């Protein structure tokens, strides 16, 4: 288990409980079950207390937790007959974006998402979930295909943002993001997006300009990272806590502002402590949102999607 900075007291208690159990395994005559159980109860109470009212910055940390389920985990668990489609038919295949044809509840769909990777090798290969222009152009190609064959599109968003490298800029990063966002607004099929971790900047909006947008309880969605915002506003990246507060990037704030439609609950301690439970909850959320959109005609889907984004900004957080 990887522990976050604010979880250090929890790490100590759980570590002591595990030490006791290890001593008991090494010496069967030692009766440590009662002490270990007491420590488990103490750890459970502390975990609930820590996650009862997370600050925006702590939610950022949880959203970035390396043990959270990633796009590939959701695709493997929720979709059947997944057939990956690669490349943008122009430059290359971007491994930060995965997508293809699949079945969800035995119905054909197109699924697209950011994949961060789960170890050093895969994270480097996936570029830590930061897509280049060819990733967005691949997504455009897949959305075009879905529109042609009348397949609902499901996107899973988990990216710190679009890759800001020199090569990406030379190949038209901003234009690729804009065209992907435009394609989201144009397709006449249901488009559903779930922010499963980080929803960073235009890199997230390019996938999440959807009829229905859901967020996991401890995910974040913002125009810029807290560190980037602090560097610009205060010339000090260490002020990321203040920036996270000001950005209103939590699922709870964004639902009040009308930016998202649904919050999907996570287990106590975050998705990383209940991967299967979280994946099942996301599956149920996707199923419910697809039902809401079933039977709608293409023109109605496009009109509703455009109206949804035009209306953003009309709601505030003031009482």
Distance from C-alpha of 42 to C-alpha of 10, rounded to nearest angstrom: 9
pTM equals: 0.91
Go through 59-70 and write b for each residue having 16 or more CB atoms within 10 A of its CB, e for each that does not. Answer: bbbbbbbeebbb
Return the CA Rg of the chain: 21
pLDDT at residue 319 is higher than 70: no
pLDDT, mean over the chain: 92
**Residue 84, CA atoms < 13 Å, CB-side half-sphere:** 12
pLDDT at residue 22 is higher than 70: yes
Q: What is the pLDDT of residues 76-107, one digit of tens each?
A: 999 999 999 999 998 999 999 999 999 999 99
Query: Within the chain, how many helices (H) and strands (E) appear?
Result: 14, 8
Paired sense of beta strands 220-222 and 191-200, if any:
parallel
Sign of CA dihedral 130, 132, 137, 142: negative
pLDDT of residue 300: 95
Please tell me which residue, 318 or 256, carries the higher pLDDT value: 256
């Amino acid at each position: 288990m990887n522990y976050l900075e604010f979880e250090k007291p929890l790490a100590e208690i759980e570590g002591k409980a595990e030490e006791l159990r290890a001593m008991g395994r090494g010496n069967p005559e030692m009766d440590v079950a009662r002490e270990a159980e007491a420590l488990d109860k103490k750890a459970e109470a502390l975990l609930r207390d820590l996650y009862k009212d997370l600050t925006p910055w702590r939610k950022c940390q949880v959203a970035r937790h390396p043990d959270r389920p990633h796009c590939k985990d959701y695709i493997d668990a929720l979709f059947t007959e997944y057939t990956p489609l690669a490349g943008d038919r122009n430059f290359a295949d971007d491994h930060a974006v995965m997508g293809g044809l699949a079945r969800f509840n035995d119905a054909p769909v197109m699924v697209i998402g950011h994949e961060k990777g789960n170890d050093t090798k895969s994270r480097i290969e996936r570029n830590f979930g930061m897509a280049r222009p060819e990733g967005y152009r691949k997504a455009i190609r897949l959305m075009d295909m879905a529109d042609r064959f009348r397949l609902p599109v499901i996107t899973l968003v988990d990216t710190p943002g679009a890759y800001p490298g020199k090569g990406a800029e030379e190949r038209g990063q901003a234009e690729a993001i804009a065209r992907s966002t435009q394609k989201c607004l144009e397709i006449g099929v249901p488009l559903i997006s779930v922010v499963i971790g980080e929803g960073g900047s235009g890199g997230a909006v390019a996938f999440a300009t959807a009829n229905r947008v859901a967020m996991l309880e401890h995910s974040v969605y913002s125009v810029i990272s807290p560190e980037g915002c602090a560097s610009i506003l205060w010339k000090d990246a260490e002020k990321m806590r203040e920036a996270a507060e000001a950005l209103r990037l939590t699922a709870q704030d964004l639902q009040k502002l009308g930016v998202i439609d649904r919050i999907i609950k996570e287990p106590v301690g975050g998705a990383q402590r209940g991967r299967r439970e979280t994946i099942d909850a996301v599956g149920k959320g996707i199923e419910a949102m697809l039902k809401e959109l079933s039977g709608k005609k293409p023109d109605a889907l496009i009109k509703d999607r455009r109206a949804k984004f035009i209306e953003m900004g009309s709601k505030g957080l003031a009482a």
